[in-house]
A and B are shown apart, each in its own frame.
Chain A
Amino acid sequence: MNNPPDIAQDPAEHEEYAHGVQQHVSRYLMVGGLLLFFTLLTVALSYVDFGGFFSWLFHIHISQEGSRKLNIAVAIAVAAFKASLVALIFMHLAAEKRLIYRVLIFTGLFVLVLFWLTYLAWYDPITR
Chain B
Amino acid sequence: MNSLALINEFLGQPPNASEHGYQIDHILEFAHWFMAALFVGWSAFFIFVLIRFHKSRHPKADHYGVRSGISTHLEFSCVLIEAVLLIGFAIPLWAKRVNEFPTGQEAVLVHVVGQQFNWTFHMPGPDGQFGKRNIDLVTNSNPLGIDPNDPSGKDDLVVLGELHVPVNKPVIIELSSKDVIHNFDIPHMRIAADAIPGSLIPMWFKPIKTGTYEVVCGQLCGLGHYGMKGTLVVDSPADYQAWLKERAELAGTQSAPPATQRPPGEPPVGPTPGTVPPPGAPKNANPGAKISPSPSGQ
Contacts and interface: CB of A to CB of B under 8 A. Distances in A.
Binding between chains A and B? yes
A125 B174 contact: no
Nearest to B103: A128
B199 A128 contact: no
A40 interface: no
Interface residues of B, number: 8
A126 interface: yes
A40 to B, nearest CB: 41
A127 interface: yes
Contacts of B143: none
Contacts, number: 11
A128 B101 CA distance: 7
Counting contact residues on chain A (CB < 8 A from B), the size range is under 10
Contacts of A125: 199, 201
Nearest to B99: A126
A90 B201 CA distance: 49
B172 interface: yes
B131 interface: no
B202 interface: yes
A61 to B, nearest CB: 15
Contacts of B202: 126-128
B195 to A, nearest CB: 13
A127 B101 CA distance: 9
Contacts of B98: 126
Interface of B: 98, 101, 172, 174, 199, 201-203
| Closest A-B pairs by Cβ, 3 of them | A128-B202, A126-B98, A128-B101
Given A126-B98, A126-B203, A128-B172, 8 more contacts: A125-B199, A125-B201, A126-B201, A126-B202, A127-B202, A128-B101, A128-B174, A128-B202
6 contacts: A125-B201, A126-B201, A126-B202, A126-B203, A128-B101, A128-B202
